[in-house]
Amino acid sequence: MTTSRFLTITLSILLAASRADAQCTSCASGEPLCDASQLVSVEGFAETDTSCKSAQLANFQKRCCNGPPYDYCSICPDGTTPSGLNDPIPTGEFATDPTCNEFQFQPNSRTNLIPGQEGNCADTFLQRTSHYCGCPNIQQECYLCPDGSNPGNPDRGEAWATNSNCRGLEFLFSAFTADECQVYPDNFGVNFAAFCVCPGVEEPPADNPECSICNGNAVVNPDFIYARPPDAVFERKCSQAEEFAKFITNSRSCDTLLQQARIACCPNGSIPGLETNTMGASSGVARVGSTKMFVGLAISAMAILEAMVEVN
């Protein structure tokens, strides 16, 4: 019996050593979805190295792997066990919000927020939103509504800057630090607090001096649907784009976010330098351009940040 136990322990040690010496793979699971030139190199790393896990996380965040390394990045930045493992994370993705314990095993928890921070646990939604989980010394620093309350219309969908509903925007804002809260939301050029009907925030007037969809002219057909799934996340009517214009806070964002709507909805010649009303906007449905159908936070969060970069 003693000999058998000794052999079992010895075999376990050898297997552990073998795993420790195993060559790191580019993805934690499955084969890479990208060319080698797009992958973060794992050459020379062992499977158990922190550098290996960071590279695998980065490759997942670059959309080159199907899943992240789940044994990398704790919920709490300091590695402690959170006091609220069963508390909900209000991601806005599902009818029932996942608990903190469930969220840590969802791929989207390892999505990074800021482009260029791939492979950094501190920039994952898992750790950025750990204030929901009772992590020590972690507090929420940014809110969609200035007074920290919930938006009055959480299910309202925004189809131009973020392709998200207001619950999703509320979750996104909660992931920003105090410093980022002063910069990144403004980069959108959209008054999301007003759009989502936050308490105490006035709705802007219809005659927005910063943005008019048709340069002061009325749209040709308010009920014309110029985009719908699967080419767009939300169905878009000319009247909806016309209304959204009043929430845009600068002319640059106006030009960027409403270009498709202008092409489909405005009278020809109303926008200098832009050929408009070429889609037959009297009836039917147009599909202007190609808008990706974002599925889940793992993709939509990246899309939101990409949209911010494009606007700037």
pLDDT in tens, the chain (312 residues): 445 544 444 444 444 444 556 899 999 989 999 999 999 999 999 999 999 999 999 999 999 999 999 999 999 999 999 999 999 998 877 668 899 999 999 999 999 988 888 999 999 999 999 999 999 999 999 999 999 999 999 988 888 888 888 998 999 999 999 999 888 777 889 999 999 999 999 999 888 889 999 988 889 999 999 988 887 778 889 999 999 999 999 989 999 999 989 999 998 766 666 665 544 443 333 323 222 222 233 334 444 444 444 434
- Domain termination residue (choose one: 71, 86, 121): 71
- pLDDT at residue 93, as a whole number: 72
Statement to judge: residues 132 and 148 lie in one domain: no
> Does 95 lie in the same domain as 19?
no
Cα gap 68→28, rounded to integer Å: 6
| The last residue of a domain, from among 139, 162, 189 | 139
**Same domain (yes/no): 164, 144:** yes
Domain boundary residue, one of 71, 97, 131? 71
> Do 43 and 155 belong together in one domain?
no
Q: How far apart are CA 291 and CA 306, in angstroms?
A: 13
Same domain for 85 and 199, yes or no, is: no
83 shares its domain with 101:
yes
Residue 194 near residue 201, CB atoms below 8 Å: yes
Domain that holds residue 296: 140-312
Quickly count: other Cβ atoms within 10 Å of residue 285's Cβ: 13
Residues 7, 19, single domain; the answer is yes
- Backbone angle region of 264, left / alpha / beta, with phi > 0 → left and psi within -120 to 50 → alpha: alpha
- Residues 77, 66 share a domain: no
Record the pTM. 0.77
Q: Tally the domains of the chain.
A: 3
Nearest residue to 104 (alpha-carbon basis) of 122, 120, 85: 85
- Are 49 and 102 part of one and the same domain? no
Same-domain status, 42 and 127: no
293, 212: one domain: yes
Nearest residue to 310 via CA among 156, 118, 160, 119: 160
Q: Are residues 174 and 157 in the same domain?
A: yes
Residue 41 CA to residue 128 CA, distance in Å, equals 26
Token output for 121: 């646990």
